[in-house]
Amino acid sequence: MLAILSNIQFYDWPWYRCRFQSTLAFEPYKPLFDQELKLLEGKGADEEWFAAYEKIEGLALTLR
């Protein structure tokens, strides 16, 4: 388990808002998420952001 999600709220399909409490197992993946957020907040959804997001999608993470 990488994290515990709580206070989950529907945002805009397929997106949700929630409280994210990471576990130690998340640490190897954290830099990917940090980079994606930095790019999105900085330049928006450009080619560099899409490349970073594809790396996260490639992890094939699922919610349970």
User: Is 44 contained in some domain?
Assistant: yes
Prediction pTM value: 0.82
Give the count of domains, the chain.
Answer: 1
Structure tokens at 44: 């928006």
- What's the pLDDT at 8? 92
Rounded to whole angstroms, the Cα distance separating 13 from 53 reads 17
User: Is 63 contained in some domain?
Assistant: no
pLDDT per residue of the chain (64 residues) written in tens, 0 to 9: 999 999 999 888 888 899 999 999 999 999 999 999 999 999 999 999 999 999 999 999 998 8
Q: Let me know: does 29 contact 59? Beta carbons within 8 Å.
A: yes
Rounded to whole angstroms, the Cα distance separating 15 from 9 reads 9
Q: Let me know: does 6 contact 18? Beta carbons within 8 Å.
A: yes
For residue 50, give its domain range. Answer: 3-57
Structure tokens at 39: 């790019």
- What's the pLDDT at 18? 94
Identify each DSSP E strand in 1-64 by its residue range.
3-12, 15-22
